[in-house]
Structure formats: C-alpha cells, structure tokens
C-alpha cells in the first residue's frame, strides 16, 4: 500500500506544479509552435500531450502533411499541442530521437515519448493515431 500512496502523492504534486505554472488549456496554442533544440524540452514538458512534426523545407511529403497538422492544431486546441521541428536546423534533437525518415511525428505524453508516426498520410489515417493518446 505504501507504493500506491507514494505514486498517488507524486501524481498529485505533478498536477499541483502544472496548476502553479499556469497551465490553462484555454491558453494552449491553436496553431503549430516552432520547436528548436533549445526549446524542445520546455515545450514537451509544458503541455500534457504534444505532437512534434519533424520536417525539412526540401521534403515534399512534409509539405503535404503540414496543412493537416495545422488543421489538427486548430481542431484539438486545449487537448493537443502541435510543434514543428526543422530537422536541418535542429540536428541535435533529431539525432537524439533517431529521426531517419521525414516526416516523422513524435508523440509525447506528460513529457515522455509514447509514439512515433512515420510518413505522410491523410488526416483520416493520421488523426486516429494521435487521438488514441487523449
């Protein structure tokens, strides 16, 4: 029972810390957020569910999925924050997460990587892969 109580207290502290930090889902962005090597950890820890789109300007499939990601950012405001990480300018983060193909979407829940979605796909295929983490 002590282990259960310890976990319960830890979760309660985490929730209180988020509340103190002013995390209000109304304040969550409704567009994609630019993520860089220097802001990456801050972004994935600030919001409870973050999807980071790893892309490059020269990548045609990345350009195809970009409007879908923008739509999802608007439609899931307050539930999911969508970030954009240019892998050419942020090789450190891309390397840390083993990005070998783009586009790759990294899904973080409470600061922890929980899924990777590789390749461009239409919204009807992409959306369920993200919403299963809600």
Query: Residues in the chain, how many?
Result: 134
Read off the pLDDT of residues 6-46 as tens digits, 9 standing for 90 and up: 887 877 777 666 655 555 677 899 999 999 999 999 999 99
**How far is the C-alpha of 83 from the C-alpha of 111, rounded, in Å?**
13
Which domains can be identified in the chain, with CATH numbers?
29-131 (3.40.30.10)
Residues whose CB is less than 8 angstroms from the CB of residue 8 and which lie 6 or more positions away in sequence, other chains included? none
What pTM value is reported for the model?
0.81
Among the options 43, 50, 51, 62, which is catalytic? 62
CB 53 within 8 A of CB 69: yes
Residue 62 annotated to the active site:
yes
Residue 54 annotated to the active site:
no
Please, where are the H alpha helices in 76-122? 91-96
Q: Residue 60 — very low, low, confident or very high, per pLDDT cuts 50/70/90?
A: very high
Among the options 59, 102, 117, 130, which is catalytic? 59
Beta strands in the chain (DSSP E): 33-35, 49-55, 81-86, 104-109, 112-118
Read off the pLDDT of residues 62-73 as tens digits, 9 standing for 90 and up: 999 999 999 999
């Amino acid at each position: 029972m002590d282990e259960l109580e310890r976990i319960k207290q830890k979760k309660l502290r985490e929730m209180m810390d988020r509340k103190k930090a002013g995390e209000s889902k109304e304040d969550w962005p409704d567009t994609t957020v630019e993520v860089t090597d220097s802001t990456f950890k801050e972004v994935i820890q600030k919001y409870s569910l973050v999807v980071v789109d790893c892309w490059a300007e020269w990548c045609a499939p990345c350009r195809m999925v970009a409007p879908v990601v923008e739509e999802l950012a608007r439609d899931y405001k307050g539930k999911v924050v969508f970030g954009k990480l240019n892998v050419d300018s942020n090789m450190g983060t891309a390397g840390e997460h083993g990005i070998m193909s783009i586009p790759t979407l990294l899904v973080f829940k409470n600061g922890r990587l929980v899924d990777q979605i590789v390749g461009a796909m239409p919204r009807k295929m992409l959306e369920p892969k993200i919403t299963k983490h809600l």
